[in-house]
Structure formats: C-alpha cells, structure tokens
Amino acid sequence: MADIHRITFEPVNLEMEVAEDEKILDAAFRQGIHLMHGCREGRCSACKSYMLDGEVQMEDYSTFACNDAEVEEGYVLLCKAHAFSDCTIELLNFDEDELLGGIPIQTIRTRVVGLDPVTRDIVSLRLQPIEPEAYEFKAGQYADLTIPGSEETRSFSMATTPATDGPIEFLIKKYPGGKFSGLLDKAGTDGGISVGDEITLNGPYGTCTIKDGHVLPVVCVAGGAGMAPILALLRHLSASGSTRPVRFYYGVRTPGDLFYVDEILRLGEQLADFTFVACLSESTEGLDDPGHVVEAGNVTDVVDRREEQLAKTEVYMCGPPPMVDAALALLEVRGTPKDQIFYDSFTSPIFD
Ligand SMILES: Cc1cc2nc3c(=O)[nH]c(=O)nc-3n(C[C@H](O)[C@H](O)[C@H](O)COP(=O)(O)OP(=O)(O)OC[C@H]3O[C@@H](n4cnc5c(N)ncnc54)[C@H](O)[C@@H]3O)c2cc1C
Ligand code: FES
C-alpha cells in the first residue's frame, strides 16, 4: 500500500490525508474539500498553489499553467501533484462557501436519449440518469463522461440546470478523430454513440457558478461550445428571478454558427435587464434584422469596445483556450478583480 501523508492547507487551516499514488486535488474531493480547480489536467492553472513546506512531484503538465521559474519558486498544480512527505500548502485562490460546502462527486449511469446536430460542428447530447435517477449539480458546472469502450473520460459542461425539465443536455464540439466527439458522428454504427446507449457520468466539477448574494452586473463571454455552461447560468438566473443586469457576448465565425438564439432571447425576457450580443469574427452576411445586437469582430474585442465598466462587473467565460486567455488578458488590463472572474477554459487532455 502507498505511503500516506498529511496535508495542511493555509490560510484556511484545513487538514487531510493523501496517499502517494493519489493526486492532491483528487484526495481533497474524496474527503469533501472542494479546492479551486478548472481542467483537472494541468492545463489551466486554476488549482495553482504555493508550497510552504514538504515535497511534491507533478505528473505531466503544461508549462503555460505553471512555468519552470514558478515551479522553481515553489508553485504547484494540485491536480497533478503527488505528495512524498507531509506538506503545508498555501491556497492562492479559494471560495470559502465551496471549500466544505460543495456538492459531492457522484458516479451516475446514464442513457443517451437524444443526439442532434445544432450547427455544422456542435451536437446536443442528452443523457437521462438511470442509476441513481437524480444528479445533483449547480448551473455552470461540468462532468466527466467516460468514452464508451474505454476507461478514459472527457469533460463537458451541463447546458441544463437541475431545475430544467427533461434530460441533462451537453453541447459538444466535434473534433476530427476526437476519441469522444468522433463517436457522435458514428451513431447507428458499431462503436459509435447512439440513442439508447449507456454512458457513465462522474461529477459535478467546476467553479463557474453563480454565487448567492452577489449583486454586480453579470458579463458572460462564450465561444462555440462554451455556450453550454453560459446557457445553464442564464437558465438559472432567469428561473431564480435575478434582477442583476446580464450581458451575453457569444463569439462565432459566421451567422450559420449561431444556435439556440430564440431560447436565449426568451430567457432574457424574464430578466430585468438583458442584452445578447452575437460577435461574428468572419462574416455577418445574411443576418438581416435578427432581433438582437450583432457586432463584427472577435468576441474579446467586442467586449472591450462595449463594456466601459468591466472592473465593476462579475465575468463568466467559457470556451476555447485562446478566447479565454485573450479575455483574461483584457480583464487584467481593465482592472477586474480576480475574485470577480469565473471561467472554464475548454482544454483537451491531449498534449499536441
Ligand atoms: C472544464 C472543461 C469543460 C469543458 N466543457 C466542454 C463542453 O461543454 N463542450 C465541448 O465541446 N467541450 C468541452 N470541453 C473540452 C473537451 O473536454 C475537449 O475538447 C475534449 O478533449 C474533446 O474530446 P475528444 O475526445 O472529442 O477529442 P480528443 O480525442 O481529446 O482530441 C482530438 C483532437 O482534437 C484536438 N482537440 C480536442 N479538444 C480540443 C480543444 N478544446 N481545443 C483545441 N483542440 C482540441 C486534440 O488536441 C486532438 O488533436 C471542456 C473542457 C474542460 C476542461
Ligand atoms: S491546471 Fe489544475 S485544474 Fe487546471
């Protein structure tokens, strides 16, 4: 059996045990401690913390998430770190409410009850929990879905909320040869994902959730399949009768890449103050009188042009890593405090 070590987290003064063969973030989840995290793959830096004492080693990680100088200085990615002694670790980023009050991780057998294209490269996958029959999560979180026929998983955000009628919906971008998304194109064939198949879901994960009691205007920024968690947040805000002003900037290339716009506008009608801005980076051709704001350009540039008071907003961002990185850089320049920024960078576990 692997040696066990004691981890103390500062400044919250929490303690837990971890075996040498278990990653520190996983051990924390197992013991009901919900540390700040994003990709859980060493790619996004959301779990970056500082070693005050002790010895850890990290598995493969991206130097974009933690560069060599930072590692030298004592920074560590907890999603990739194994402890080899008792350790004291300073959490750089934590949410006091979530830390001990997060929703426990569940493993759920689900059945595919819907599989439909919504654009040329995004598919709506709907899963019905079978065992257990209910899945507890917060709007904006994500789950790991097991790739059928393998032990590997891929992360996908729920587009629905627990209050949404019907199955859990995921919006999935197809990558050529993608181990999970590639199977969505092969419905009805041996090895493809088809209606009626079972898929194991493990979750919820993620911290891109609306915090109770917060009042600042909400700015949502999404690209491509990043629509999923933002749609969940909109569904939650509208169902809970939120009075916060909400602006949703959605970045795609062409009008043909837009989807679910009617649903977004319908949710917006139930909010006190809502604007949907479609940001089209390649072409706006064919979008006559769409019933919402359309801006030409990259989504981050549009946010920069339109949002004068970004430092006084709470920002939720989900989608491709280059979009999230560009938006984070903008928010830094515009002085938005880090504790007002929530994001999921849709990284892939495959290191190209
Ligand atoms: C917290 C989180 C939430 C996510 N939520 C969603 C979601 O709601 N919807 C969604 O579609 N995706 C989401 N993703 C991204 C998704 O998990 C990955 O895109 C996934 O790797 C795709 O799996 P795959 O098996 O189809 O492709 P893989 O077999 O993993 O990859 C196939 C090829 O495509 C490339 N590729 C895969 N994903 C990406 C990417 N994101 N950017 C650039 N190249 C890529 C790989 O590098 C590889 O070359 C999320 C990721 C994270 C970390
Ligand atoms: S780098 Fe650890 S959660 Fe993303």
- 324 touches ligand 2 (CB under 6 Å): no
- What CATH code would you report for 106-205? 2.40.30.10
Q: How far is CA 190 from CA 122, 174, 186, 344, in A?
A: 22, 18, 8, 33
- What is the DSSP pairing of strand 106-117 with strand 122-131? antiparallel
Q: Is the pLDDT of residue 1 over 80?
A: no
Regarding the domain delimited by 4-99, which CATH topology (the fold level of the hierarchy) does it fall under? Answer: Ubiquitin-like (UB roll) (3.10.20)
For 152-200, the pLDDT digits (tens) are 999 999 999 999 999 999 999 999 889 999 999 888 888 899 999 999 9
Q: Which amino acid is at 166?
A: G
pLDDT at 290: 85
Give the pLDDT score at 352. 52
66: Cβ below 6 Å to ligand 2? no
State what percent of residues in the chain have pLDDT above 90: 86
Tell me if 4-99 shares its fold with 218-351: no
Span from the CA of 49 to the centroid of ligand 1 (angstroms): 25
Count of alpha carbons within 13 Å of 254, Cβ hemisphere only?
A: 7
The stretch 319-347 carries a mean pLDDT of 95
Are the C-beta atoms of residues 199 and 146 closer than 8 Å to each other?
yes
Per-residue confidence (pLDDT) for residue 81, from 0 to 100: 98
- A 10 A CB-CB count for 222 gives 28
Domain residues of the chain, as ranges?
4-99, 106-205, 218-351
| pLDDT tens track for 222-241 | 999 999 999 999 999 999 99
Ligand 1 pocket, residue 307 CB under 6 Å: no
User: Average pLDDT in the 88-107 region?
Assistant: 90
Beta carbons of 238 and 218 less than 8 angstroms apart: no
Q: Across the chain, what does the average pLDDT equal?
A: 94
Which residue in 261, 260, 252, 304 sits closest to 283, CA to CA? 252
Q: Is the pLDDT confidence value at 122 over 70?
A: yes
pTM of the model: 0.94
Asked whether the predicted pLDDT for residue 82 surpasses 80, the reply is yes
The mean pLDDT of 60-80, rounded to a whole number, is 96
Q: What's the confidence (pLDDT) of residue 197?
A: 96
CA separation for the pair 159, 168 (Å, rounded):
7
Please compute the mean of the pLDDT values over residues 292-309 and round it to a whole number: 96
CATH class of 218-351: alpha beta
Q: Which ligand is nearest to the CA of 155?
A: 1
Read off the pLDDT of residues 28-38 as tens digits, 9 standing for 90 and up. Answer: 999 999 999 99
Mutation test residue for ligand 1: of 175, 231, 233, 343, the one with most atoms within 8 Å of CB: 175
Q: What is the pLDDT of residue 351?
A: 57
- Best of 37, 75, 343 for a ligand 2 pocket test (most atoms within 8 Å of beta carbon): 37
Extract the tokens encoding 154.
């891929």
